[in-house]
Structures are given as C-alpha cells and as structure tokens.
C-alpha cells in the first residue's frame, strides 16, 4: 500500500481519495495483511471517513483481510460503536441495492448475512466485541441480530462465554438480560459460562449467576468434556462458598452427579480442603456422605489423598462423616491405610488419636496401616 494512501486512511482524509488526480486504484490498495483502507480507518476510529463514503456501495466495506477479518471485526475489536452502527446501516443499503424486493426492502435475514461474516477462527464481530469487553458494540449487534448470541466459533466459544472468560461482567449481564432469545453458554471443551463464573465469582458476578440459574436452570447440570465436572464441582474445588450456596439453593440434586472418576462435589471439596463448602452441602443433601467414587473411596479417603488434615479433623467431629472413618475402599484400604501409604504424619496422628478408628484393620492384602508406614 502506498504510504500516502495508508496515512490518508489512518487520518480519515476522505478528500485525498476524491481529488481529481487520485486514481480509483487507490481505493483498492491493500497492506501485506490484506487490510483495506476501511480496515485502517476502523482501526483508528475514523468515524467521519465511513460516514462520508457510505453512499458508495463498494464491497470494500466487507472485504476480509488475510485473517478473515472485515472492517466490522476491526470496529468491534477497537470498540467503535459509531462505525459499527454505520456498517449495519450500510449492510441494509447494500442488500437493497443488490436486488432485495423493493416493496419489502432487504429483510433482517439478508442483512444479517453480512453481520454474521466470520474470520478464520469463525469469530463474528460479536465474538470479537464480547472478547474485548465493548458493551455498546455488543448491544448494537445483538439488537440487530439476536441470533449472533447463539453462534460459536472454531473453539466452540459463544460470545457470552468469551465475555465471561475474559471477565467483562457488563457484557455478560447485557447478553443475559437483553437478548430476546436463549443465548449459547457453550465454551471450549464443554466448559460453560457458568463453569467459568463460579471459579472467580465476586459481588459483581453474583447477580449474573443468580440471573443465569434462575432463567436457565438446566445449565446447572451441564458437565464439561474433560472430567465431567458440573459448575458445582468447579465451585467446590475452588472453595467458592457463595457460588456453592447459590447452586445448592437452586438445585441441590446436582450434588449427586458424579464425574468420570465417580467423584462427587463433596469428594472434590474434601480433596481441596474446603470444609466450609462441605458444611454448606451436607445439610442440603445429608446422604451425599455415603457416596463413593469408582475406587470405592469416600470423601474421607479423598481428604487423605489431598493431604487435608483440616478435613479429617472436621470429619471426626461431624457425626455424618465420622461414621466413615473405618470405611474401606475397593482395595480394602481405610483412610488410615491411605494416610500410611502417603506417609502423612499429621493425618496419621489425627486418626490414631481417635478411639473410634480401627487401627488394626486389614486390607485385601491382609496388611495393616502399621505395615505400610
């Protein structure tokens, strides 16, 4: 691209392209990345540049660069809502000129084909704007085409997921509250928007979680692809007490869902050492204490494997968990056996100091915990 052309687009100098001595070829010059003058003008938010040339129905407005990004993608990334608004109007005008029925004009579906153009990552402009946190652009695109909120990119990420993953609560709240149809919650590897929120939920996100689970309660039971974890499992592992409370209040039956290894949310909380989360879950569903994983291990076994002395001490003082202190897993190992195998002196002392613990219990190999220490 000629430097003067680049500079004119960067500065928004429309007059440069309208001068009599300016060749029409100047309009079609591109950078090595195949950015047109409109990509450049959008990058530098030259609003009047677009406004002054919108009477030209040139396809340059929608020509992609080497990464498949159109000027609309660029405007979405930099958060220039005025350019986005102009391009939306241009899409409608262009389709009308290209032959839409004069009586009915271009339909939303026809105009939305341009708004739904994707780059090589299958990102629409809405994906880009949501990822970058530009709520005004998100609102414009969503109002024009709510279906954009249902589209996923190459990584199977929806706009709502991207806004959440990149921690833009205003964008997430806007999509949840303003989208007239059910938006997609999908994310990479089956991780949903709710999975992400509960890992770092603070006061700003609390209302979003409440909206999410009240309007779309089925999402609570969605599991990811890697481990089969629910959002409750994520909250339990991260020790997020408020998220645990919200999820259990909305649908406590989710605590019965096991992951691919047969681990429950209680197992995970015990393994991670979050006794406050356990204390929140157990009164809601007392019988979750009876749940075992694929190896026949209880939450106490999980606590030993996680090296969590605090969970063992807590469990010994709680009747619903204390009854499990001598439970054996599929190999016949009690929590004391595992503590000996792991050579954890603190947990061994905690267990052997309780008279209810069977210190001479044998496993399937007829070994006592003493034999393993």
159 pLDDT above the threshold of 80:
yes
271 lies in a domain?
Answer: no
Task: Write down the pLDDT at residue 108.
Answer: 55
Task: Write down the pLDDT at residue 298.
Answer: 97
| Residue 11 half-sphere exposure toward CB, CA atoms < 13 A | 11
106 pLDDT above the threshold of 80:
no
Task: Write down the pLDDT at residue 154.
Answer: 96
51 lies in a domain?
Answer: yes
The whole-number average pLDDT for the span 299-314 is 97
Instruction: Specify whether the backbone of 199 is left (phi greater than 0), alpha (psi in -120 to 50) or beta.
Output: alpha
Cα–Cα dist 56/51, whole Å: 10
Q: Is-contact 263 236, C-beta < 8 A? A: no
Of the three residues 119, 139, 172, the one that is the final residue of a domain is: 119
58 lies in a domain?
Answer: yes
Query: How far lies 250's CA from each of 114, 186, 230, in Å?
Result: 40, 21, 14
151 lies in a domain?
Answer: no
109 pLDDT above the threshold of 70:
no
Residue 21: which pLDDT band, with cuts at 50, 70 and 90?
low
More confident residue, 93 or 239: 239
Q: What is the CATH number of the domain that holds 340?
A: 1.25.40.20
Task: Write down the pLDDT at residue 31.
Answer: 93
Least confident of 88-102, 204-218, 351-365: 88-102
33 pLDDT above the threshold of 90:
yes
107 pLDDT above the threshold of 60:
no
Its pTM stands at 0.88
Task: Write down the pLDDT at residue 332.
Answer: 96
H/E stretch holding 118: none
Residue 28: which pLDDT band, with cuts at 50, 70 and 90?
confident
Residue 20: which pLDDT band, with cuts at 50, 70 and 90?
very low
The whole-number average pLDDT for the span 119-123 is 97
Cα–Cα dist 59/38, whole Å: 11
Average pLDDT, the chain: 90
Of the three residues 119, 140, 159, the one that is the final residue of a domain is: 119
Of the three residues 89, 119, 149, the one that is the final residue of a domain is: 119
Residue 100: which pLDDT band, with cuts at 50, 70 and 90?
very low
More confident residue, 8 or 352: 352
Tell me the residue range of the domain where 320 lies. 316-373
Ranked by mean pLDDT, which of 93-107, 197-211, 301-315 comes out on top?
301-315
Task: Write down the pLDDT at residue 201.
Answer: 72
Cα–Cα dist 322/72, whole Å: 61
Query: Count of domains in the chain?
Result: 2
């Amino acid at each position: 691209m000629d430097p003067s052309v680049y500079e004119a687009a960067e500065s928004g100098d429309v007059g440069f392209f309208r001068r009599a001595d300016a060749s029409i070829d100047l309009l079609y010059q591109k950078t090595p990345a195949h950015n047109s003058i409109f990509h450049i003008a959008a990058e530098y938010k030259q609003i009047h540049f677009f406004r002054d040339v919108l009477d030209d129905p040139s396809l340059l407005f929608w020509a992609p660069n080497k990464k498949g990004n159109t000027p609309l993608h660029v405007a979405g990334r930099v958060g220039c809502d005025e350019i986005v608004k102009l391009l939306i109007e241009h899409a409608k005008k262009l389709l009308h000129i290209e032959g839409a029925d004069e009586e009915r004009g271009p339909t939303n579906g026809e105009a939305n084909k341009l708004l739904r153009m994707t780059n090589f990552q299958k990102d629409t402009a809405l994906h880009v704007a949501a990822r970058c946190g530009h709520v005004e652009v998100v609102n414009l695109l969503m109002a024009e085409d709510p279906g954009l909120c249902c589209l996923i990119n190459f990584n199977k990420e929806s706009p709502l997921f991207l806004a959440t993953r990149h921690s833009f609560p205003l964008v997430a709240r806007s999509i949840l509250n303003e989208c007239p149809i059910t938006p997609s919650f999908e994310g990479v590897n089956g991780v949903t928007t709710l999975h992400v929120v509960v890992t770092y939920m603070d006061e700003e996100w609390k209302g979003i979680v409440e909206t999410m689970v009240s309007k779309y309660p089925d999402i609570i039971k969605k599991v990811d692809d890697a481990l089969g974890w629910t959002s409750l499992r994520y909250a339990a592992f991260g020790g997020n007490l408020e998220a645990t409370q919200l999820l259990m209040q909305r649908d406590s039956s989710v605590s019965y869902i096991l992951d691919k290894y047969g681990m429950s949310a209680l197992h995970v909380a015990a393994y991670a050492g979050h006794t406050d989360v356990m204390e929140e879950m157990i009164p809601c569903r007392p019988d979750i204490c009876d749940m075992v994983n694929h190896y026949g291990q209880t939450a106490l076994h999980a606590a030993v494997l996680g090296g969590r002395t605090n969970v063992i001490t807590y469990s010994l003082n709680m009747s619903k968990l204390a009854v499990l202190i001598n439970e054996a897993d599929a190999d016949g190992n009690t929590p004391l056996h595992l503590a000996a195998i792991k050579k954890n002196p603190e947990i061994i002392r905690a267990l052997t100091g309780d008279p209810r613990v069977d210190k001479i219990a044998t496993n399937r190999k007829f070994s006592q915990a003493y034999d393993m220490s």
